[in-house]
């Protein structure tokens, strides 16, 4: 086998995976990183615990490209391959209800395992090398940063998207992809908090509540997620909000109005809900309005719902009309908010959009510039919370490296 000089641009999860894989195939590998160290974004994943993958792997966990296309690539280096890979590096892997973590739940330990392996395989790591230009001259790629350059037989562009730019994912990879003639599908923040128009959000900031978040379009629910919703002084956060944020941002990109409906009693069906209303009515005559609605949801949320209905919490509940009673309880199941934007790429965990997969072969090689490959978040693939984005990084990095080594 010929020993190709392979240059990997970007020292994130997919780039390090590609470097280890290509070096393991006997290639001469150089990993170029614009920052001071590799793997900085890995250290942030799972709040520093590194949710590295998930045993439940399904096409509905991914967005962007055709889902069959995505899963065909995931299957080439799947969850079990990921577990075996890290176990081979000496890392113990823990299963927490399908979510996979290093046993010690330290992202730094996983990163160290990868760094040690890359070093043992002879990968040359060059930090502080911010690539700004790629040219292909005959069969050689000239990769430049200011006045310095490297020459490679093959390159793998794995420099991320635009999310968390302080870690190095500043969108420069899209510029490099465009230099090679590639189309970049519109890029928006994903797995990010949402900002709402309502001015009363400060009154419930800090409250957490189990609930279902529904994104509405023309009166129909287009996506919904259930989990712990976190209220902030500007809007909503939490895992279910993160999961729907990319859908919301694409709607906003099209200048569509975005309404989200929150069901804060998601485990209560219609019959149980009616039973609650009947029982609550029995308490009405000897309590204040505030006391009448106590015990349903968090006190701050119920106080807000009473206020939104135009009621005074200290008034006697015997003056409460049936319609006002129903309006307060209805908000528990149908609390409507209006989203005008999300937080920025700085707060996003990943971004949606990127290199159009129709311009890539099945091996993630450019169909425009042979010898150039792509891996990771720079491709138009993004996953839900739960280790899915890291699994895409491992899978795509491996596939690109194996193909580049042949």
What is the pLDDT, as a whole number, of residue 275?
Answer: 87
Whole-angstrom CA distances from 371 to 17, 123, 129, 342, 360 are: 18, 19, 21, 37, 11
What is the pLDDT, as a whole number, of residue 282?
Answer: 84
Residue 286 CB contacts under 8 Å (≥ 6 apart), including other chains: none
Tens digit of pLDDT for each residue in 71-104? 999 999 999 999 999 999 999 999 999 999 999 9
What is the pLDDT, as a whole number, of residue 125?
Answer: 98
pLDDT of 1 > 80? The answer is no
What is the pLDDT, as a whole number, of residue 147?
Answer: 86
What is the rounded distance in angstroms from the CA atom of residue 332 to the CA atom of residue 268? 11
Tracing tokens 């962007």 back to the chain, one arrives at 64
Task: Kindly report the number of other CB atoms within 10 A of residue 90's CB atom.
Answer: 11
Tens digit of pLDDT for each residue in 282-335? 888 789 999 999 999 999 999 999 999 999 999 998 888 889 999 999 999 999
pLDDT of 65 > 80? The answer is no
Tens digit of pLDDT for each residue in 108-118? 999 999 999 99
The domains of the chain, with CATH numbers, are 5-186+354-404 (3.50.50.60), 193-342 (1.10.8.50)
What is the rounded distance in angstroms from the CA atom of residue 334 to the CA atom of residue 248? 19
What is the rounded distance in angstroms from the CA atom of residue 30 to the CA atom of residue 364? 19
What is the pLDDT, as a whole number, of residue 69?
Answer: 95
What is the pLDDT, as a whole number, of residue 276?
Answer: 84
Token pair in block for residue 18: 């590609």
Token pair in block for residue 295: 């015990």
Q: pTM here? A: 0.95
Helices assigned H by DSSP within 189-238 = none
pLDDT of 279 > 90? The answer is no
Residue 288 CB contacts under 8 Å (≥ 6 apart), including other chains: 313, 314, 315, 316, 317
Confidence of residue 227 (pLDDT cuts 50, 70, 90): very high
What is the rounded distance in angstroms from the CA atom of residue 83 to the CA atom of residue 55? 10
Determine contact, residues 231/204, Cβ cutoff 8 Å. yes
């Amino acid at each position: 086998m010929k020993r190709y000089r392979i240059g990997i641009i970007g020292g994130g999860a997919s780039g390090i995976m590609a470097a280890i894989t290509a070096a393991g195939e006997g290639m001469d590998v150089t990993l170029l990183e614009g920052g001071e160290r590799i793997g900085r974004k890995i250290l942030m994943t799972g709040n520093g615990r590194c949710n590295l993958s998930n045993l439940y792997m399904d096409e509905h966990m991914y967005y962007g490209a055709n889902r069959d296309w995505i899963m065909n690539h995931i299957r080439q280096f799947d969850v079990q391959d990921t577990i075996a890979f890290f176990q081979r590096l000496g890392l113990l892997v823990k299963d927490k209800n399908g979510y996979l973590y290093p046993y010690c739940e330290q992202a730094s330990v996983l990163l160290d395992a990868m760094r040690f392996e890359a070093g043992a395989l002879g990968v040359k790591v060059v930090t502080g090398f911010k690539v700004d230009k790629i040219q292909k001259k005959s069969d050689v790629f000239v990769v430049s940063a200011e006045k310095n350059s490297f020459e490679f037989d093959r390159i793998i562009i794995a420099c991320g998207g635009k999310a968390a730019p302080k870690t190095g994912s500043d969108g420069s990879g899209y510029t490099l992809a465009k230099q090679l003639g590639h189309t970049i599908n519109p890029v928006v923040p994903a797995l990010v908090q949402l900002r709402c128009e309502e001015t009363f959000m400060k009154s419930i900031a800090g409250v957490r509540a189990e609930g279902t978040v529904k994104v509405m379009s023309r009166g129909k629910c287009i996506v919904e997620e259930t989990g712990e919703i976190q209220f902030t002084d500007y809007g909503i956060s939490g895992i279910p909000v993160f999961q729907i944020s990319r859908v919301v941002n694409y709607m906003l990109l099209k200048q569509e109005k975005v309404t989200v409906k929150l069901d804060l009693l998601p485990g209560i069906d219609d019959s149980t809900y009616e039973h609650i209303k009947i029982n609550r009515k029995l308490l009405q005559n000897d309590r204040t309005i505030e006391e009448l609605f106590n015990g349903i949801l968090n006190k701050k949320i119920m106080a807000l719902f009473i206020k939104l209905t135009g009621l005074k919490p200290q008034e006697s509940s015997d003056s409460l009309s049936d319609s006002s009673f129903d309006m307060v309880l209805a908000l528990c199941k149908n609390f409507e908010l209006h989203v005008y934007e999300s937080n920025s790429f700085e707060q996003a965990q990943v971004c949606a959009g990127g290199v159009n997969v129709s311009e890539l072969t099945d091996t993630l090689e450019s169909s425009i510039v042979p010898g150039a490959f792509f891996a990771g978040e720079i491709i138009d693939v993004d996953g839900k919370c739960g280790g899915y984005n890291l699994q895409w990084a491992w899978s795509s990095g491996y596939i690109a490296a194996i193909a580049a080594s042949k």
